[in-house]
Amino acid sequence: MTAPMPAVVVGGGSGIGAAVAERQRTAGIEVLTWDRSGGDLECDILDPEQIEAATADTVARFGVPGLVTVTAGIGHSGLLADTPAEDWDRVVGVNAKGVWLVMRALAGPMRAGDGGSIVATSSVSARLADQSMGLYCASKAALDMLIAVAAAEWAPEVRVNGIAPGVTDTPMLGRAPRSGAWLEGVAERTALRRLGTADDIAEAVEAIHAMHWMTGQIVPCDGGLSLHSPIDPLGDHRV
């Protein structure tokens, strides 16, 4: 029997990344997590030198990975008219540039070896205009196009897809009260009537990695949150 391909989870120290790593380990897959803190390897995805070092260390430890999941990212809120210019560099830098740098670094040895699958974490906000989240929306929209172009350029050796969660109960939500009006309202607007969990998204990531005839796709996983327009036709036309 062929041993399962080893896996790398970037952002695997907490949240969705930790859930992905746990599911893969349960399936008997050897997993190495990268994170700024709490991973097997320390790596800041804004630093190309750290990415190169983590890639070399990964290959030295257990060979070329066949499964790569990139969940590293940051949130942001702020109106476009009020947000400091430097926030653009930070948010787009992490969520788009940083993810691209990681995918590029790991795709190199994968393409030279036996190939494999990359799944990057996007968001339903890449295609929904969320007021007060413009920079985050833009960063994830950029990532969606990077995923599509990478899938075209790195085929047939490497498949590249994305997962687009809705509002998910992870540390990225910060101190927002889970029983507060905002998150309770999100759960109420979601078809499945709850927030997503890290394991909900990890389950979908696992499925995407296993779909060998799919590449360049962004798969929504939001419990039906994006089924509805944010405009309430019976109330105020506001988000």
Say if CB 110 and CB 64 are below 8 A apart. Answer: yes
| Separation CA 167–CA 178 (nearest Å) | 11
| Separation CA 203–CA 201 (nearest Å) | 5
Q: Catalytic site residue 136?
A: yes
Give strand ranges (E) for 7-166. Answer: 7-10, 31-35, 41-42, 67-70, 116-121, 158-165
User: DSSP 3-state assignment of 178?
Assistant: coil
Say if CB 165 and CB 121 are below 8 A apart. Answer: yes
Report CA dihedral (160, 165, 169, 172) to the nearest 10 degrees.
60
Exactly one of 92, 136, 201, 226 is catalytic; name it.
136
* Residue 146: C-alpha distances to residues 138, 152, 160, 193, 231 (Å): 12, 10, 10, 32, 30
Count of CB atoms situated within 10 Å of the CB of 53: 15
Which residues are marked as active site?
136
